[in-house]
Amino acid sequence: GQSLEQPSEVTAVEGAIVQINCTYQTSGFYGLSWYQQHDGGAPTFLSYNALDGLEETGRFSSFLSRSDSYGYLLLQELQMKDSASYFCARGSTLGRLYFGRGTQLTVWP
Amino acid sequence: DTAVSQTPKYLVTQMGNDKSIKCEQNLGHDTMYWYKQDSKKFLKIMFSYNNKELIINETVPNRFSPKSPDKAHLNLHINSLELGDSAVYFCASSSDRAGTDTQYFGPGTRLTVL
């Protein structure tokens, strides 16, 4: 199957660190991506991991462990504007992206 | 400046009608996609075209017919609209079809079928 599992909701306060986990099924795996989507907006790319380890892009980092079929997105120094849905997505053959159901992050002041 | 654009942004129509959504990208990408996002925010790939050639049809009903007149455009025509077709439809593009490259999404078309 193509399913990915991630928590449906996470809440945190401004300035905090939050980790959003994602587990996936491994058939035809081409890497794990993360996308952010604000209400009413389009998904926008945040990060991609093809190999094990940590990728850092500013306040956001993403980690992948292929042996555990697991990844996470780490958001540091949270800001109000980070309130959005975050999707992990598994790359597959021919450019397919299979998305998880999204994690709604709410950042409180 | 717009990378991936879609028209219309909103579409409200009656069951049984036929409608089209248009998408254009100015990124020079070879691959374009259609995704459907339902009311629970589940985002599912429908089709992919690479250089005007259909490469993915993710078991979508044949009431949905994509067309790519050139590699910068991918349109979606829907016949005999049903209530369950109500969703947000996103077009996206990427520079390759290997599943490793960033996909750039358009702003979405919110389709409401009454």
What is the tens place of the pLDDT at every residue in B23-49? Answer: 999 999 989 999 999 999 999 999 999
Contact A45 B104 (CB under 8 A): yes
- pLDDT above 90 for A97: no
Question: Cα separation of B112 and B106, whole Å?
Answer: 18
Quick one: A9 exposed, middle or buried, by C-beta within 10 A (0-12, 13-18, 19+)?
Answer: exposed
Question: Cα separation of B105 and B103, whole Å?
Answer: 6
Residues of chain B positioned with their CB less than 8 A from the CB of A37: 41
CB of B98 less than 8 A from some CB of A: yes
Between β-strands A60-65 and A53-57, what pairing exists: parallel, antiparallel or unpaired? antiparallel
Compare all CA atoms of chain B with the CA of A36 and give the residue at the minimum distance: B105
The average pLDDT across B54-73 equals 91
The average pLDDT across B81-88 equals 97
Contact A42 B43 (CB under 8 A): no
Task: List, for residues A20-58, the tens digit of each pLDDT value.
Answer: 999 998 777 889 999 999 999 999 999 999 999 999 989
Q: Locate B18 and state its tokens.
A: 């036929």
| Count of alpha carbons within 13 angstroms of residue B51, beta-carbon side | 2
Contact B105 A97 (CB under 8 A): no
Optimal mutation site among A44, A97, A98, interface B, most CBs of chain B within 10 A: A97
Contact A95 B58 (CB under 8 A): no
CB of B41 less than 8 A from some CB of A: yes
The average pLDDT across B77-103 equals 89
Q: How far is B14 from chain A (nearest CA, A)?
A: 23
Residues of chain B positioned with their CB less than 8 A from the CB of A94: 48, 50, 55-56, 97, 99
- pLDDT above 50 for B21: yes
- pLDDT above 90 for B100: no
**Planar angle of CA A30, B4, A34, nearest 5 degrees:** 35
Optimal mutation site among B36, B45, B104, interface A, most CBs of chain A within 10 A: B45
Residue A28's pLDDT is 72
Task: List, for residues A46-95, the tens digit of each pLDDT value.
Answer: 999 999 999 998 999 999 999 999 999 999 999 999 999 999 999 887 77
CB of A98 less than 8 A from some CB of B: yes
